Structure formats: structure tokens, C-alpha cells
Amino acid sequence: MKPYYVHIANWAENTAKGRPVVEIGSGDADFLVTAVKRMDLWGCDILEHAGSDSERGPKVQKKLANAGVEEDRYRWYKESAPLPFEDNSAAVVLSIQTLEHVYPIEHLFAEIYRILDHDGIALHYFPTAEILIEPHCQIPLAHKFDKGRKDFIRRASQLGLGKYPQYKRERSYSLEKFVEEFDHYLQQFCHFRTLSDYLELSADLGLEAKFYPTHKLALSSLAPFMARFTSVYLTQRKSKTIGAMMPLLSPEDQNLMPEPGF
């Protein structure tokens, strides 16, 4: 189990106190099957990313079944559609290494606002644009380049930086396959934003937000420094000074709103 799973699960259990907890970006359901016995936990992910993998659905179903978890606790949804949960239904919303993969972040934050209970809180753990070593290929500054990234990844890998030596040893990757795969991944599936971007977007959508350097959710002033070296924690609560916000949905997507019932 990843160490931050333990920290996040402890915090979510103590904060929710038996009320529903929603995890966004559940991926292979690793956190869900680990923590569901401790809380009323529900997971979800988008069809366009995780759900587009033909092996992901059966893999998740098997993992849930082996753990004795009801299949309905993991829900797929379209990226532009509402989260598959009722208004004001979640005491806690979680995301773990997810926000850097979300492009329509305004839509997601509006949906978090919608499903959070009036005293609910969201907790996100993820890397921001300030991080110096790109966390997926582990090559310094690889996420800072749009043009010339392939050449940068290639040269860094030739110097022994990042994950290429591991991929070559364990997966028999050629250098070019590694370069192509991570250039595509960073271009298509990673959307790094700064700490100030997340704070401003949260405020625009009625969410009071704050960054913290560790799971203890203290010493927020150190978050900008720590964000250069590791993932950080972002909390969001519904603002007490702003009225109810409407999700940023098209008329077509309004028709996809979930039926009553969690």
C-alpha cells in the first residue's frame, strides 16, 4: 500500500464520520478496495481516459469482486457529463494523483461544488506545475516543454535520467519507444497548472481552497516551496459567502444528471 493511501484514508474516515466519501479518478480501484471497509466510499473515473482501455473495465470488476466490493461502488462517466452522484451528497470528495490529468478543470470543480454537502470538504493530492522533476517519466523539467520535448527526453534518458533504464531492463523498451510513449502521455493526458491557477479557479466556482505541504494539513505557507519537489495537498470547501453555483454543463449534458439516490 502506498504511504499516502494510509494518510488519506485515515483523514477521510475521521472527517466523514460514516457519511459518503467520493473518490474521483479511481483508476484501477486500488484505493477503493483498500479503504472501502473503513468508510462509505464510492469511486468513479471517466470513459475517455481510464475507460478507453478495453482491459480496464474487466480488471476493475475482477478486483472489486475479489475484494467483496459491490460493482456499483465504481462508476464510469463521460468527461463532459456530471459526476454520477446527487447534489449535496458527499461529506468528503477525494482525488489522488488525478488533477494533473484533468483538462476541463472548471467543469470538475463545479461538479465538486455540486456534490459536496454544505459542510463537506474535498482533498486532492497531486503535483502542480511548480514541480521540478516530472513525476511520470521522472525526468527533470520534461513537462515544461511543448516543442522539443522528444529530443529533451531522449537526451536526458541517454544520460541515465528518469525511468528509461528501468523500462529498458524490465519491459525491454527501446529508447525511441520510451520517448514516443512519454511524449504522447505528457501531451495528451497531463495538464499541469500552478498553485495560483488552482486557487483562482476554485474561488471563481465558489470553493474556498488552500494548499498544504503534507497530509497533516498544516504549515500552508510551505506549500509553494514543497511543490517544487513533491505532490501537495489541496483542500476545498463551499464558500459561505457565495450562493449556490450551477455546474458548467451544456443543455445536452443537463439531461445526463443522475437520478435520485446515491
Separation CA 78–CA 24 (nearest Å): 13
What is the share, in percent, of the chain residues with pLDDT greater than 70? 90
What's the whole-number average pLDDT of the chain?
91
Helices 175-189 and 164-171, axial angle in degrees (round to 10): 120
> Is residue 36 domain-shared with residue 99, that is, in the same domain?
yes
Average pLDDT over residues 45-62: 78
State the pLDDT at residue 8. 98
> Is residue 48 domain-shared with residue 126, that is, in the same domain?
yes
Give the number of domains in the chain: 2
Nearest 5°: the CA angle 163, 166, 172 is 115
> Is residue 65 domain-shared with residue 126, that is, in the same domain?
yes
> Is residue 110 domain-shared with residue 199, that is, in the same domain?
yes
Assess if residue 200 is contained within a domain. Answer: yes
Whether the pLDDT of residue 240 is over 80: the answer is no
> Is residue 108 domain-shared with residue 93, that is, in the same domain?
yes
Assess if residue 255 is contained within a domain. Answer: no
> Is residue 178 domain-shared with residue 239, that is, in the same domain?
no
> Is residue 75 domain-shared with residue 125, that is, in the same domain?
yes
Helix (H, G, I), strand (E, B) or coil at 39: coil
> Is residue 20 domain-shared with residue 35, that is, in the same domain?
yes
State the pTM of this model. 0.89
Assess if residue 256 is contained within a domain. Answer: no
Range of the domain at 91: 3-130+192-249
> Is residue 181 domain-shared with residue 226, that is, in the same domain?
no
> Is residue 42 domain-shared with residue 150, that is, in the same domain?
no
Assess if residue 259 is contained within a domain. Answer: no
Whether the pLDDT of residue 231 is over 60: the answer is yes
Assess if residue 243 is contained within a domain. Answer: yes
Write down the number of H helices and E strands in the chain: 10, 7
CATH number for the domain spanning 242: value is 3.40.50.150
Assess if residue 135 is contained within a domain. Answer: no
Nearest partner of 182 among 216, 219, 157, 200, judged by Cα: 157
> Is residue 108 domain-shared with residue 179, that is, in the same domain?
no
Phi, psi angles (nearest 5°) of residue 63: -65, -40
Assess if residue 104 is contained within a domain. Answer: yes
Separation CA 204–CA 196 (nearest Å): 12
Sorted by sequence, the CB contacts under 8 Å of residue 243 that are 6+ apart come out as: 206
Average pLDDT over residues 160-188: 97
> Is residue 20 domain-shared with residue 51, that is, in the same domain?
yes
Assess if residue 90 is contained within a domain. Answer: yes
Answer whether 103's CB lies under 8 Å from 191's CB. Answer: yes
Nearest partner of 212 among 239, 237, 229, 231, judged by Cα: 231
